[in-house]
Amino acid sequence: MERRTIQIEEKVPAKLLIPLSIQHMFAMFGASVLVPFLFQINPAIVLLMNGVGTLLFILITKGKAPAYLGSSFAFIAPATLVIGKFGYQYALGGFVVLGVCGMIIALIIYKCGTKWIDIVLPPAAMGPVVALIGLELAGSAASNAGLLDAQIEIRNVIVFLVTLGVAVLGQVLFRGFLSVIPILIAIVAGYVAAACCGILDFTEVQAASFFALPNFQAPKFHMEAILTILPALLLVTSEHIGHQVVTSKIVGKDLLKEPGLHRTIFADCFSTALSGCVGAVPTTTYGENIGVMAITKVYSVQVIGGAAILSICASCLGKLAALISTIPGPVIGGISFLLYGMIGTSGLRILVDSQVDYGKSRNLTLTSVIFITGLSGITLKLGNVELKGMVLACVVGMLMSLAFYVLDKLHWTND
């Protein structure tokens, strides 16, 4: 049996559904639980709401947009400031308000359509912006693997190479059933390598209880806290559009039109608002899971839904959540090397598929400036919100594209 593409609305046999769902859960787990660790809250509530949010996303988008909602990193800087000054519950209030504002933006997009995207982000701009989603995470993958430490441990390198090697070879050698779960196999191989190298720590597993209900908290509202977090909406919107574009290229369907950008943004922000109401962190469509789809060619929302249910179960099974959290950094780093690279390649694919003509100065200029802006490390501070990386590059690209559009209308360009 040769590997084939499994489409978005296609049903998956049970023998495939379970391992494919586990694969998606493993892909998101490391990054998703990092955010609650940074906020010093129990990750169980986050796992619960990630799963619930994903199921709601599937429902709101009518099962036509494959996406897993994990913990968003866009809020870390402003939320940390709010937590330090007012407390975590006031950060929750900011999350709720931001989610509501995001839903309002979704309604505006519903009324105005998405044609404006072609103006503010033409292919020469969209391609590098999408590529930066993966490329700017390269350092994170290397850091997780321990390859950026002052003193690199050889056992980390061994585990990293085993994980990445199995994932890469699985892409070109695995056949039949194995060809759709190369990431899961690579994680297992890396875990075994980590055990052989003696870098696994089961202390938390032994201390964890078998069943543990998530810790719910209610939001509190303060205008200063809300205004500190609200500007992150720009980051969330830019990130979401980029993720939907790259997913569209991977699955071969224009998700901005069907089910529609308004539905996907509404679902994403509704999940964020709901998470804030019960004590969890904001959610966002996850690049790690987009990478899994790109590698496996399995786009079924049934698989995404299965991963969401597993996440909900893990939130209540203390031992299971603790066991998954023992997956060491070099394993996550090895997988991330491939997943993030796949996202970057999807951005380049936009340039190729759109046949961007670099004989035109505007296209060459757009792509060049966006790439350098995103990879330069430049940070623009607007109050307590920092624009950098892909988000700053997206803003720069939009401003340049709008300027070119106006110059076109004035017939001042030299095309």
The answer to whether residue 179 is domain-embedded is: yes
Residue pLDDT, tens place only, 322-368: 776 677 889 888 888 887 787 788 788 888 888 999 988 899 999 99
Residue pLDDT, tens place only, 245-290: 889 988 999 999 999 999 999 999 999 999 999 999 999 898 778 8
Length of the chain: 415
- pLDDT over threshold 60, residue 1: no
Instruction: Compute the Cα dihedral for 140, 142, 145, 150 and give only its sign.
Output: negative
The answer to whether residue 7 is domain-embedded is: no
Q: What is the mean pLDDT of residues 22-27?
A: 83
> Taking a C-beta distance cutoff of 8 angstroms, is the pair 66, 293 a contact?
yes
The answer to whether residue 369 is domain-embedded is: yes
The answer to whether residue 2 is domain-embedded is: no
The answer to whether residue 8 is domain-embedded is: no
Question: 387: Cβ–Cβ under 8 A, 6 or more apart, which residues?
Answer: 234, 235, 379, 380, 381, 395
Residue pLDDT, tens place only, 111-148: 988 788 788 888 899 889 878 877 877 887 888 888 88
Looking at residue 392, its pLDDT comes to: 86
Mean pLDDT (the chain) is: 86
- pLDDT over threshold 70, residue 2: no
The answer to whether residue 330 is domain-embedded is: yes
> Taking a C-beta distance cutoff of 8 angstroms, is the pair 329, 144 a contact?
yes
The answer to whether residue 195 is domain-embedded is: yes
The answer to whether residue 129 is domain-embedded is: yes
147: containing domain: 14-409
**Amino acid making up residue 201:** D
> Taking a C-beta distance cutoff of 8 angstroms, is the pair 251, 117 a contact?
no
Burial-class residue 353 by CB neighbours within 10 Å (0-12, 13-18, 19+): exposed
Q: What is the distance between the alpha carbons of residues 146 and 337, in angstroms, rounded to a whole number?
A: 13
Instruction: Work out how many domains the chain is built from and give that number.
Output: 1
Closest CA to 72 of 36, 117, 120, 112: 36
Looking at residue 37, its pLDDT comes to: 67
